A = this chain, B = another copy of it.
Amino acid sequence: MAGKIYIVGMGPGFKSMMTEDAFNAMEKADVIVGYTVYIDLVKEHFPNKEFFTTPMKKEIERCRACFDFALEGKTVAFICSGDAGIYGMAAPMYELLPEYMNNSSDFTGDNLIVIPGVTSAISGAAVLGAPINHDFCLISLSDLLTPWEVIEKRLKAAVMGDFSIVLYNPSSKKRHDYLEKACDILMEAGASKDRACGYVENIGRVGQNSHVCTLLELKSTQVNMFTTVFVGNSNTRIISDKLVTPRGYKI
């Protein structure tokens, strides 16, 4: 019989920010599969476990390895940082599922189980105060898998709807100026240069630090791939160095 595959959102890093379900899925798994960096974050908790890693850009090989392990009868924990279903591995796993269901009567949809986790929009927001305490959008600035025109369209729509905005993947070695470009698009679309913003590096990991600033200041900030960026809506304010988007209560 094919084993179960738990697609696990492990949260930002620290065990204390995982759910019990996430930890238990790893504990009962015969093999833990994931990107090298994430495996390194959980390895200490499971010294005698079998691990399988693939490097960046080898995500589909990683998915297929999970199915192969499961077909051998193994229980698999496929770990993703943050949540498993936000830019995570849940979608490609479900996209691959019909192929494995066709090839093996052993495999059904019940073999895949998604365990939700705390994504960095949420954990970063907690560090900054309450920046997404009303309607918000989450947008990745990575154009590896998404055309830049789509990203640009979404940035404009986010301003049009006056959403608070969380930006994932704001920078990388090859894309060092993407946050600057994004800030320009937001301002051209009507967001004030004084819009309250903030960013957090290494959320829930060693070296966590955070800053609040204006949108104009954000534009000239050099962030890295471990930074999560927050742009407030038109009502967002900085209160006691925290970034706060009111829900609308009469205070």
The answer to whether B96 and A251 have CB atoms under 8 Å apart is yes
Copies in the complex: 2
Are B16's CB and A145's CB within 8 A? Answer: no
By secondary structure, the A interface counts as mixed
Instruction: Tell whether A247 is near chain B: CB-to-CB under 8 Å.
Output: yes
A132 to B90, CA, bound (A): 10
On whether A137 and B137 interact (CB within 8 A), knowing A109-B242, A161-B157, A163-B157, the answer reads yes
Which residues of B have CB within 8 Å of A95?
239, 244, 246, 249, 251
Is there contact, CB below 8 Å, between A97 and B247?
Answer: no
| A241 and B109 contact, CB distance less than 8 A | yes
> How far apart are A70's CB and chain B's nearest CB, in angstroms?
15
B158:A87 contact, CB within 8 angstroms: no
Determine whether the beta carbon of A153 is less than 8 Å from that of B161. Answer: yes
Q: Which residues of B contact A9 (CB under 8 A)?
A: 122, 126
Instruction: Report B-chain residues with C-beta under 8 Å of the C-beta of A156.
Output: 161
Chain A residues 83 to 139 lying within 8 A of chain B, measured CB to CB, are 83-88, 90-98, 101, 109, 114-119, 122-123, 125-127, 129-139
Residue A209 at the B interface, CB < 8 A? no
How distant is the Cα of A120 from the Cα of B127 in the complex, in angstroms? 20
| New A-B contacts (10) at CB < 8 Å, excluding given A83-B122, A137-B161, A150-B162 | A9-B126, A85-B126, A86-B125, A87-B247, A90-B126, A91-B129, A91-B246, A95-B239, A114-B130, A160-B160
The 8 A-B pairs at the shortest CB distance, nearest first, are namely A157-B161, A145-B248, A91-B133, A90-B130, A114-B126, A91-B130, A116-B126, A154-B161
